[in-house]
């Protein structure tokens, strides 16, 4: 982000919004120029800040940013008219050793269900057909207001209308406590059979260093429960390579876990010490060259497994919701019940259409299909 700010033309005024001003304001001041700074989720306050900056004022509005909760009912302009993104809470209940976002977003603050439902109804009336339920950790939802994620999902799915719901990232230790109810909620056909469950490491000792309060056995128990209920589940997870204290044996344990669990998607990141985090003060730092090597080895493995998983979909026939314009001309991307991206070709505008397709080809990151009916 800072490198991007350095390349903004001198004639432009800059307002830096989000987590960065709260996480590393000193570096922002030292290395960049800006006319305004505001924390995450400013809501309608951003309009007044922009007007003040345009009028020539320098505005730093970081106070109370860790406690802000803008109304979900504010007007919005969507980049994708088909997708409605609904943040159901801000903050979290974790204390991960590598995370600096907690400094910016603070402790958990959940929106009441009635406000989320009203937002969803407004979006449906505006043509939305797919909802993304988002949060730093959706499994935390409601723990501060006497509710829960399964209750929220049941309430959303009870809304009249043809739409689908993608549930955002859930941390394993928070998921364990609601697992039975969550599996029941996921039975609803409106919910994509897609689970984003970040494990971060395949080694229990490294998880302790990371302050991730679950074990590999507990992570696997969640995956097994979901796959037993939904055999064609799409599983996504996250791995950090090179966390301080990650021995070669620990890294091998991560590779073994990925081989065993076989996620469809693995978001691989190289460890980088964030300012003010406990991880930044840890000893036994791993050389950057070794972190790069481990990242490359893991990425190669995950792409191989992703292709193997996708090959199992060849020949599948069923309905997709087209929710994205493809990267090449006359191509469109639709999602099936498991949120698998399936690329189809058509000269017509298919955005928002429901089509019946047959999968003919598989690649590591997507499938390719032929339209049968639509």
Residue 66: its pLDDT value, please? 60
Residue 104: its pLDDT value, please? 63
Domain boundaries 317-373, corresponding CATH code? 2.40.50.140
Residue 168: its pLDDT value, please? 98
- The yes-or-no verdict on residue 351 having pLDDT over 90 is yes
Place of tokens 């996708």: 310
> How would residue 40 be classed by pLDDT, with cut points 50, 70 and 90?
confident
Q: Which residue has the higher pLDDT, 27 or 355?
A: 355
Q: Which residue has the higher pLDDT, 109 or 32?
A: 109
Residue 74: its pLDDT value, please? 87
> What is the CB neighbour count within 10 angstroms for residue 371?
19
Residue 46: its pLDDT value, please? 83
- The yes-or-no verdict on residue 138 having pLDDT over 80 is yes
Distance, in Å, from the CA atom of 218 to the CA atom of 73, rounded to the nearest integer, reads 38
Instruction: State mean pLDDT over 302-307.
Output: 98
350-354 contact pairs (CB < 8 A, 24+): 350/322, 350/374, 351/81, 351/82, 351/322, 351/323, 351/324, 351/325, 352/81, 352/82, 352/127, 352/129, 352/321, 352/322, 352/323, 353/321, 353/322, 354/162, 354/319, 354/320, 354/321, 354/322
Residue 374: its pLDDT value, please? 63
What is the tens place of the pLDDT at every residue in 186-232?
A: 999 999 999 999 999 999 999 999 999 999 999 999 999 999 999 99
State the alpha helices, DSSP H only, in 55-203. Answer: 101-105, 113-125, 149-157, 172-176, 179-185
- The yes-or-no verdict on residue 26 having pLDDT over 90 is no
Distance, in Å, from the CA atom of 222 to the CA atom of 172, rounded to the nearest integer, reads 8
What is the tens place of the pLDDT at every residue in 61-80?
A: 877 656 677 889 988 889 99
Residue 45: its pLDDT value, please? 81
Across the chain, what does the average pLDDT equal? 92
Distance, in Å, from the CA atom of 345 to the CA atom of 322, rounded to the nearest integer, reads 11
Highest CATH level, class, for 66-311? alpha beta
- The yes-or-no verdict on residue 29 having pLDDT over 80 is no
Instruction: State mean pLDDT over 118-139.
Output: 97
* Among 105, 86, 85, 87, CA closest to 95: 105
> How would residue 32 be classed by pLDDT, with cut points 50, 70 and 90?
confident
Domain borders along the chain are 2-65, 66-311, 317-373
Q: Which residue has the higher pLDDT, 201 or 5?
A: 201
> What is the CB neighbour count within 10 angstroms for residue 109?
17
What is the tens place of the pLDDT at every residue in 230-250?
A: 999 999 999 999 999 999 999
Residue 275: its pLDDT value, please? 80
Instruction: State mean pLDDT over 70-92.
Output: 92
- DSSP per position, 237-263: EEEEES-TT--HHHHHHHHHHHHHH--
């Amino acid at each position: 982000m800072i490198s991007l700010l350095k390349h903004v033309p001198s004639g432009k005024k800059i307002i830096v919004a989000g987590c960065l001003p709260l996480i590393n304001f000193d570096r922002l001041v030292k290395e960049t120029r800006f006319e305004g700074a505001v924390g995450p989720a400013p809501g309608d306050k951003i309009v007044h800040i922009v007007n003040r900056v345009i009028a020539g004022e320098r505005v730093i509005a970081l106070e109370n940013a860790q406690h802000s909760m803008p109304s979900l009912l504010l007007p919005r302009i969507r980049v994708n008219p088909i997708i409605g993104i609904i943040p159901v809470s801000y903050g979290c209940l974790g204390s991960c050793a590598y995370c600096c976002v907690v400094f910016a977003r603070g402790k958990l603050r959940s929106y009441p269900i009635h406000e989320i439902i009203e937002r969803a109804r407004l979006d449906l009336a505006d043509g939305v057909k797919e909802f993304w339920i988002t949060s730093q950790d959706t499994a935390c939802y409601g723990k501060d207001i006497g509710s829960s994620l399964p209750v929220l999902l049941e309430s959303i799915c009870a809304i009249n209308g043809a739409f689908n719901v993608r549930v955002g990232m859930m941390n394993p230790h928070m998921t364990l406590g609601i697992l039975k109810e969550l599996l029941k909620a996921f039975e609803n056909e409106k919910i994509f059979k897609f689970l984003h469950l970040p494990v971060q490491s395949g080694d229990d000792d490294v998880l302790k260093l990371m302050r991730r309060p679950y074990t590999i056995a507990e992570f696997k128990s969640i995956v097994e429960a979901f796959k037993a209920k939904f055999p064609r589940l799409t599983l996504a997870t996250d791995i950090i390579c090179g966390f301080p204290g990650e021995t070669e044996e620990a890294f091998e344990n991560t590779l073994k876990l990925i081989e065993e669990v076989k996620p469809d998607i693995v978001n691989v990141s190289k460890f980088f010490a964030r300012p003010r985090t406990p991880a930044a003060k840890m000893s036994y730092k791993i050389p950057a060259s070794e972190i790069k090597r481990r990242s490359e080895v893991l990425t190669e493995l995950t792409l191989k497994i992703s292709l193997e998983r996708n090959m199992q979909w060849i020949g599948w026939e069923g309905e997709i919701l087209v929710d994205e314009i493809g990267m090449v001309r006359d191509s469109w991307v639709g999602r099936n019940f498991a949120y698998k991206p399936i690329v189809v070709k058509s000269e017509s505008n298919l955005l928002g259409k429901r089509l019946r397709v047959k999968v003919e080809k598989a690649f590591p990151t997507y499938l390719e299909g032929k339209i049968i009916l639509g």
